Amino acid sequence: MPDSTTTPVTSWPAQPPAPLDAAALASIDAWWRAANYLSIGQIYLLGNALLREPLRAEHIKPRLLGHWGTTPGLNFLYAHLNRAILERKLSTLYVTGPGHGGPGMVANAYLDGTYSEIYSDIEQTEAGVQKLFRQFSFPGGIPSHASPELPGSIHEGGELGYALSHAYGAAFDNPDLLVAAVVGDGEAETGPLATSWHSNKFIDPLHDGVVLPILHLNGYKIANPTVLARIPEAELLNLMRGYGHTPHIVSGGFHGEDPMLVHARMAETLDVVLNEISEIKRAAAQANAAGEDFARPLWPMIILRTPKGWTCPAEIDGLPVEGTWRAHQVPLGNARDTEAHTRLLEEWMHSYRPEELFDESGAPAAGITALAPSGPLRMSANPVSNGGLLRRNLDLPDFRDFAVDVPAPGATLGEATRVLGGYLAEVIRLNPDNFRIFGPDETASNRLAPAVYEATDKQWNAEIRPNDMNLARAGRVMEMLSEHQCQGWLEGYLLTGRHGLFNCYEAFIHIVDSMFNQHAKWLKVTADIPWRAPISSLNYLLSSHVWRQDHNGFSHQDPGFIDHVVNKSADVVRVYLPFDANTLLSTYDHCLRSVNYVNVVVAGKQPAPNLLTMEEAVAHCTRGLGIFDWAGTETPGMSPDVVLAAAGDVPTLEVLAAAAILREHLPSLAVRVVNVVDLMRLQSAEDHPHGLSDREFDAIFTPDKPIVFAYHGYPWLIHRLTYKRTGHDNLHVRGYKEIGTTTTPFDMVMLNDLDRYHLVMDVIDRVPGLGARAGLLRQQMQDARLLARQYTRDHGEDAPEVADWAWGQAPEAAAEPPV
Amino acid sequence: MPDSTTTPVTSWPAQPPAPLDAAALASIDAWWRAANYLSIGQIYLLGNALLREPLRAEHIKPRLLGHWGTTPGLNFLYAHLNRAILERKLSTLYVTGPGHGGPGMVANAYLDGTYSEIYSDIEQTEAGVQKLFRQFSFPGGIPSHASPELPGSIHEGGELGYALSHAYGAAFDNPDLLVAAVVGDGEAETGPLATSWHSNKFIDPLHDGVVLPILHLNGYKIANPTVLARIPEAELLNLMRGYGHTPHIVSGGFHGEDPMLVHARMAETLDVVLNEISEIKRAAAQANAAGEDFARPLWPMIILRTPKGWTCPAEIDGLPVEGTWRAHQVPLGNARDTEAHTRLLEEWMHSYRPEELFDESGAPAAGITALAPSGPLRMSANPVSNGGLLRRNLDLPDFRDFAVDVPAPGATLGEATRVLGGYLAEVIRLNPDNFRIFGPDETASNRLAPAVYEATDKQWNAEIRPNDMNLARAGRVMEMLSEHQCQGWLEGYLLTGRHGLFNCYEAFIHIVDSMFNQHAKWLKVTADIPWRAPISSLNYLLSSHVWRQDHNGFSHQDPGFIDHVVNKSADVVRVYLPFDANTLLSTYDHCLRSVNYVNVVVAGKQPAPNLLTMEEAVAHCTRGLGIFDWAGTETPGMSPDVVLAAAGDVPTLEVLAAAAILREHLPSLAVRVVNVVDLMRLQSAEDHPHGLSDREFDAIFTPDKPIVFAYHGYPWLIHRLTYKRTGHDNLHVRGYKEIGTTTTPFDMVMLNDLDRYHLVMDVIDRVPGLGARAGLLRQQMQDARLLARQYTRDHGEDAPEVADWAWGQAPEAAAEPPV
């Protein structure tokens, strides 16, 4: 394992411009050839790794997998960055946008020495090379992408689009870090990538690191040219300038051009660019020291135009390959089919002159390893790429200090997220450099404001005008109207050892479904990689939720993110539905302490009854679910007649209102009221670590009594989580339906049959032998619904007795069934 | 209802440049004022619609909902486009990116007369205005966005990001259509929007229409400035030029500038821009006529910079409102709280001089309606916005002609998607102008090639080079590496009355989860809107599916899109899992004929056994599920001992292999083999229109026998779909687990316990009384798995007897358990 968890410090030194001498360029070229050789070996070879005997078909893998096309470009950049790091001692993270260039990144980490340090069986010997080759995309081996198994990677790059947002996430609050972010020209066509260039309006030259985007135009995707490679250069330069960058082009390697010429060009450009960065950093520091303002800098970026699959055979079977889409994956897919193809592969590999690259033992030649920086300056060993090593626990205030007063259940009203905002403000104050809040322009709407803006500002490095509020060059809140950016930034921030949360409207979090997938998969895999230290959990705060989108309407109603999330590994996902301010505080304190999870918290922002004192809330959240003794009518020690259960703030309110009606009108009915905050408690213990044992589940929900469950989201999720439970056949779930009507909050609840009246009817329909009084009550409930509906039609808002109802009011006053 | 389904034809006339006279500008201004007045009225008023008496608190809605900020800009553009349409007879579709400007779009459709034609109770009278105001964002009324209820809309704009891809989708194959696409500067920050500017590399000046993007910079989002409004103008212009546009700026209205000056500027710019378009169209036609090539044009676009909430009170309660984020939603949220606020609202509304805008009856004044084009030239009545009216059924070839020969089940191998490619090529030939295939650079990888490229090309209007293949200025295949673009283009294409499909890797279709949500919601709502004619279904073809991503690894494995889809309304979603070439052909023929659905089809691209003749395939797909008599061992008329069921190609293969093993080794066991193609058949009839009745379900799956179900995706979906079924407790489902190992196809199946050996063990474990022979077989299965696993570790590929197994081979040869 790498021996240090200290991130090396970059002093952003400028270098006097001086062209590299031939020896220096030759050393870069040697690294490049070695990395290319090792990349091809991983894709093709099972044996004869150093070609010390003639290549035969049986040396070649039977299934040829992996991607060559992007790899020589990635290796080229890695070699050049090594040279610059050696000279400037730049702490550098390498983000591989085209993550399918995995063989190249493995090769570089191997040449760095990091790979053998971490995987001690892959030594720097001929046998080690052999193993390195064999394991690649091989059963029981390593994946083909820049996956968690790869030291130095925070970015798998399997799903394209997030290279720059991950890079910026890594750079925030890492003022001495350079992030070299390679963007493939395929990836550049994705939406998330296209907007992520604008991240440069959010980076602070004083307190953040530097992202150096390198747009690698190799011209082709799987089967097509790329858009950015097929527009005039002037247009491309305009685009980069329009994105706020100073672009620098390095182009070469086409039509057999000598790579040494391209090396010289690249080295020179890299020096120019790094000097520009030094100058920007210096000027910003100077202005700051002088108390002067300074304009947003036009950060440099590099456009590297080289042939796809550079240095592979120009033609195979009469078709052009190098410099075309045919080089994307395995250029010689038939390498062991004919002697001619085998020879062609051998020739190709010999073109890198392996005899110069490895010493007799099979170790990389000394001239090559000399280009590797030492220790954590190696990009494959930069501690930020194993962020858990650097992670410090948050200094958390006591959330109990922010508790709302609850003299009796429902006696006070609270806006849960607004209360949480006060707590988060204090988290910000106590953790000024490793905690951030991300949101797509919804932090205020979700009511974390104004509190958080008393502690910090929104970071904004574009123009600021006099009337603006809470904008500053540096701040803990990051807002851009792109859920992809919020998610990508936060992931990058967490993966490099920090903390944060993403607050979003519930419906629109689906925009990042696939990003969540990829992050959850990353976490799942890292849990089994001993050298990867745990990172902070990815915390969602979803507000403006489905039940409060009655007015924006159908397009804003979607509680399905929870369903999406629970498809992922139970080791990784947690879902919480706190229903009031104190349960939200308790839940979030827990989330901010946790590691390696994705915590989904759905909470309300509208005034709602506070139900539990902080002490009760902590106990309830610790259990994850529990019986509200105070709300039910059961006799201690006896089984209830019916269980009324809820998960979510609006369902909890309706269940309480239903319980109040039942208590009033059917006082002899033994009603148990259950609330579920931690949704995963419902699953079987064998399916989820939070799952209740069947015995506990039966004790709470009963094995045989009707359960009427009011749920925040799609009702079938509750069935899915509980289908193995004893009492499942007695379970009746009400939740959100896809109806789509514009209306008021309570009317929306009624439209979905989740309202107190309907819940009472559900109980009456399911408990046998309730008699005539229950029949009358049922009719009263029907009438109450009709009246409540009519009120909204007449007045455009909910009837006050419904809208203002709170537990503890006499139910007559609150929800009196009109008889 | 609008009287015509004929799209008006645009001849792209140029106009000699001539500034508008004062009367013309005044007429535009009057429309603008009327639309603004009607917008505000919808947001605020319950009564006193035309302010014919002093405004009182009770005239004001109790819940003030809707968004004013973007609305005056939308109205301004609408008025100016009307003028141009009148003069040039331009068939124009208006796409409202900031769909929350719904009040404005309703107002314009009302002034057009379309609204009253469609909704006959909303007449052009004072009473009609009253109803128009009341219904907006009111219980039982209309949503606040540019929803399906709005005539002229194909784009709700609730979830931001898709305005331009919808616009381009509408423009494809509509050579005479102008699509004016308003992009809000908030929306412009989203990823999908940021890449969708590049759609201009895919539009053909000869055969497609024209998209005129109008970037509306009003400077603010909900609570923040926008990025594009806070970069220097030179940078913004570079960005637009970099996107390949010729930008034109119109700026004005700030600090109380007289709107008439801004009208003059806008009118002039619009004429310049439309003349540029005319010239591009003319030059392209001329070059084409002369047989000459021509360069991709730099299409014009407009940047409109006006104050947010333009014309609302400059200050409210001492805080600046007009031109700030405070104007985003309801600037006067407290309009009925105090007399002063009520007066301020009244004053604001009077500033539009309503007495000039409406005649005595309350109808819009004649001077205003004169600016409305007639009939389908009205943007609110353009038939493309109600695409079902224009939709022609596809001319479909007989899919049976493409059938693969199946002399016996499994006797031949087929690559299902490749066979489908041949059929789709013929669909393309027969429907040269209303059918397109969309994909993110995966059409070839998904093996619809080479067949489809024998019938058409990929449309590509960026540079084409000599070595390129299948690229042309016009073609039926649209490929850009952005799932968002593919989805958005296809939606726009379908919503305007055409047909198509989206082919994608299964895992990465999650990228468009939220877009699917919005489209499904749109379809759900339109089904209840009588004047909206049905549109073609949105067809997915998901290949390179989870079971064939053993090599790309964990990041490429995700079958959860199906789970996501089935959350949406049962009226809208259909999921099919055809397992071979003939079932895929039959399924797709059905999909291409259907309307108003989202059809999700998951199919294989790798060689797999063809199981059913075309006749059998049609029968099986028509039933949606069925018993494979030929594969089971049950005695007709008797209940089987066990049901082996499958859905998906790989699970079907494994179930067949398991059935073969059981037939060989436990010949007296009565095994029923069931296959499910139409997943929705599993749901209860009450939950989904395709759902089997319980009686049918029991007849197939038995009420009481063990069911071992091998499923393509996450196993719990099968439980969720069947939890109400009689035999649910006997159901045991195997499917995909989140494991994440790099391996081979069969080894991946084994890792998920979905393999033949495990299925046999499942049967043995569940059927009572099988005796010693079964016990021995169970051990053999264990051993077979270990050997199969070891083979992959040794050789890097699956053992031939597994990889090459096909039904009909003697099971000894195929899957002989090593004893």
HEC string of B39-67 equals HHHHHHECCCCCCCCCCCHHHECCCCCCC
Q: Which of A137, A199, A227 to mutate to test the interface with B (most CBs of B within 10 A)?
A: A227
pLDDT tens column, A18-54 = 888 999 999 999 999 999 999 999 999 999 999 999 9
At B334, give phi and psi (nearest 5°): -110, 35
Residue B10: what pLDDT? 63
Q: For a pLDDT cut of 70, what percent of chain B falls above it?
A: 97
Q: Which residue of B has its CA nearest to A713?
A: B567
Nearest to A754 by CA among A772, A732, A769, A776: A732
Nearest to A561 by CA among A681, A736, A692: A736
Average pLDDT, chain B: 95
Confidence of residue B114 (pLDDT cuts 50, 70, 90): very high
Q: Is some CB atom of chain B closer than 8 A to the CB atom of A144?
A: yes
Q: Is some CB atom of chain A closer than 8 A to the CB atom of B240?
A: yes
Kind and range of the H or E element at B299?
none
Q: Does the structure show a pLDDT above 70 at A6? A: no
Kind and range of the H or E element at A91?
strand A91-96
Q: Is some CB atom of chain A closer than 8 A to the CB atom of B514?
A: yes
A796–B441 C-beta distance less than 8 A: no
Question: What is the rounded distance in angstroms from the CA atom of residue B75 to the CA atom of residue B20?
Answer: 19
Question: Which candidate from A224, A462, A508 shows the least CB-CB separation from B231?
Answer: A462
Question: What is the rounded distance in angstroms from the CA atom of residue A156 to the CA atom of residue A385?
Answer: 12
Residue B229, helix vs strand vs coil: helix
Q: Which of B153, B227, B548 to mutate to test the interface with A (most CBs of A within 10 A)?
A: B227
Q: Which residue of B has its CA nearest to A564?
A: B564
- Helix, strand, coil shares, percent, chain B, to 5: 45, 15, 40
Q: Which of B443, B457, B481, B551 to mutate to test the interface with A (most CBs of A within 10 A)?
A: B481
Residue B673, helix vs strand vs coil: strand
At B477, give phi and psi (nearest 5°): -105, 130
Q: Residue A684 forms beta bridges with which residues?
A: A692
Residue B7: what pLDDT? 63
Report chain A residues whose CB lies below 8 A from the CB of B447.
Answer: none
Kind and range of the H or E element at B647?
strand B642-647
As a whole number, mean pLDDT of residues B452-471 equals 97
Q: For a pLDDT cut of 90, what percent of chain A falls above it?
A: 93
A241–B243 C-beta distance less than 8 A: no
Q: Residues A278, A284, A290, A292: what is their CA dihedral angle, to the nearest 10 degrees?
A: 150
Nearest to B218 by CA among B323, B295, B311, B319: B323
Assigned token pair, B603: 């199919």
The predicted model scores a pTM of 0.97
B563–A564 C-beta distance less than 8 A: yes
B728–A480 C-beta distance less than 8 A: no
Question: Which candidate from B147, B201, B240 shows the least CB-CB separation from A242?
Answer: B240
Question: Which candidate from B144, B467, B720 shows the least CB-CB separation from A553?
Answer: B144
Residue B529 to chain A, least CA–CA distance (Å): 13
B458–A224 C-beta distance less than 8 A: yes
- Contact by Cβ (8 Å): A503, A448: yes
DSSP per-residue letters across B59-125: GB-SS--S--TTHHHHHHHHHHHHHHHHHH--EEEEEESSGGGHHHHHHHHHHHTHHHHHSTTS-SS
B482–A189 C-beta distance less than 8 A: yes
As a whole number, mean pLDDT of residues B812-819 equals 35
Q: Which residue of B has its CA nearest to A725?
A: B729
At CA A265, angle to CA A261 and CA A266, rounded to 5? 115
Report chain B residues whose CB lies below 8 A from the CB of A227.
Answer: 198, 201, 462, 480
Q: For a pLDDT cut of 70, what percent of chain A falls above it?
A: 97
Which one-letter DSSP state was computed for residue A399? Answer: G
Question: What is the rounded distance in angstroms from the CA atom of residue A809 to the CA atom of residue A10?
Answer: 64
Residue B3: what pLDDT? 44
As a whole number, mean pLDDT of residues B122-133 equals 98
B158–A553 C-beta distance less than 8 A: yes
A242–B796 C-beta distance less than 8 A: no
Confidence of residue B739 (pLDDT cuts 50, 70, 90): confident
Kind and range of the H or E element at A750?
helix A745-751
Confidence of residue B15 (pLDDT cuts 50, 70, 90): confident
As a whole number, mean pLDDT of residues A107-128 equals 98
A525–B740 C-beta distance less than 8 A: yes
Residue A742: what pLDDT? 79
Q: Residues B186, B187, B191, B197: what is their CA dihedral angle, to the nearest 10 degrees?
A: -120
Q: Is some CB atom of chain B closer than 8 A to the CB atom of A57?
A: no
B224–A458 C-beta distance less than 8 A: yes
- Helix, strand, coil shares, percent, chain A, to 5: 45, 15, 40
Confidence of residue A576 (pLDDT cuts 50, 70, 90): very high
Q: Does the structure show a pLDDT above 60 at B818? A: no
Q: Tell me if A22-377 shares its fold with A625-804.
A: yes
Confidence of residue A530 (pLDDT cuts 50, 70, 90): very high
pLDDT tens column, B492-514 = 999 999 999 999 999 999 999 99
Q: Which of B714, B728, B742 to mutate to test the interface with A (most CBs of A within 10 A)?
A: B742
pLDDT tens column, A301-340 = 999 999 999 999 999 999 999 999 999 999 999 999 999 9
Question: Which candidate from A158, A193, A225 shows the least CB-CB separation from B555?
Answer: A158
Cis peptide before A450 (omega within 30 of 0): yes
Residue A219 to chain B, least CA–CA distance (Å): 11
DSSP per-residue letters across A143-158: -SSS-TTSTT-S---S
Strands A471-472 and B573-576: unpaired
Question: Which candidate from A235, A481, A518 shows the least CB-CB separation from B244?
Answer: A235
- Contact by Cβ (8 Å): B51, B78: no
Residue A806: what pLDDT? 86
B525–A740 C-beta distance less than 8 A: yes
Average pLDDT, chain A: 95
Strands B642-647 and B319-320: unpaired
Question: What is the rounded distance in angstroms from the CA atom of residue B640 to the CA atom of residue A426?
Answer: 66
Assigned token pair, A497: 């050892």
- Contact by Cβ (8 Å): B548, B605: yes
Question: What is the rounded distance in angstroms from the CA atom of residue A108 to the CA atom of residue A373?
Answer: 12
- Contact by Cβ (8 Å): B482, A189: yes
Which one-letter DSSP state was computed for residue A532? Answer: S
Nearest to A646 by CA among A599, A698, A715: A715
First to last CA, chain A: 76
The complex scores an ipTM of 0.96
For B432, counting Cβ atoms within 10 Å of its Cβ (0-12 exposed, 13-18 middle, 19+ buried), the class is middle
Indicate the domain borders of chain B: 22-377, 399-609, 625-804
Kind and range of the H or E element at B667?
none
Report chain A residues whose CB lies below 8 A from the CB of B241.
Answer: 235, 238-239, 242
Nearest to A313 by CA among A72, A26, A25, A59: A72
A244–B242 C-beta distance less than 8 A: no
- Contact by Cβ (8 Å): A644, A734: no
CB atoms within 10 A of CB B10: 23
A186–B481 C-beta distance less than 8 A: yes
A159–B554 C-beta distance less than 8 A: no
CATH architecture for residues B625-804: 3-Layer(aba) Sandwich (3.40)
Q: Which residue of A has its CA nearest to B519?
A: A555
Q: Is some CB atom of chain A closer than 8 A to the CB atom of B563?
A: yes
A742–B144 C-beta distance less than 8 A: yes
Class of domain A22-377: alpha beta
Q: Does the structure show a pLDDT above 50 at A819? A: no
Nearest to A613 by CA among A383, A323, A345, A405: A405
Residue B324 to chain A, least CA–CA distance (Å): 8
Report chain B residues whose CB lies below 8 A from the CB of A61.
Answer: 796
Question: What is the rounded distance in angstroms from the CA atom of residue A149 to the CA atom of residue A130?
Answer: 18
Q: Is some CB atom of chain A closer than 8 A to the CB atom of B716?
A: yes
A201–B517 C-beta distance less than 8 A: no
As a whole number, mean pLDDT of residues A260-274 equals 97
Q: Does the structure show a pLDDT above 60 at B404? A: yes
Report chain A residues whose CB lies below 8 A from the CB of B227.
Answer: 198, 201, 462, 480
Least confident of A398-412, B258-272, B801-815: B801-815
- Contact by Cβ (8 Å): A444, B224: no
Q: Does the structure show a pLDDT above 90 at B4? A: no
Helices (H), B153-232: 163-171, 191-196
Class of domain B399-609: alpha beta
Identity of the amino acid at A428? I
Least confident of A125-139, B14-28, B166-180, B367-381: B14-28
Nearest to A115 by CA among A424, A500, A381: A381
Assigned token pair, A176: 């001495």
pLDDT tens column, A755-793 = 999 999 999 999 999 999 999 999 999 999 999 999 999
Q: Is some CB atom of chain B closer than 8 A to the CB atom of A224?
A: yes
Q: Is some CB atom of chain A closer than 8 A to the CB atom of B332?
A: no
Q: Is some CB atom of chain A closer than 8 A to the CB atom of B442?
A: yes
Nearest to A361 by CA among A38, A125, A48, A51: A125
CB atoms within 10 A of CB B231: 20
Report chain A residues whose CB lies below 8 A from the CB of B714.
Answer: 567
- Contact by Cβ (8 Å): A467, B327: no
- Contact by Cβ (8 Å): B497, B384: yes
Residue B811: what pLDDT? 43
B241–A238 C-beta distance less than 8 A: yes
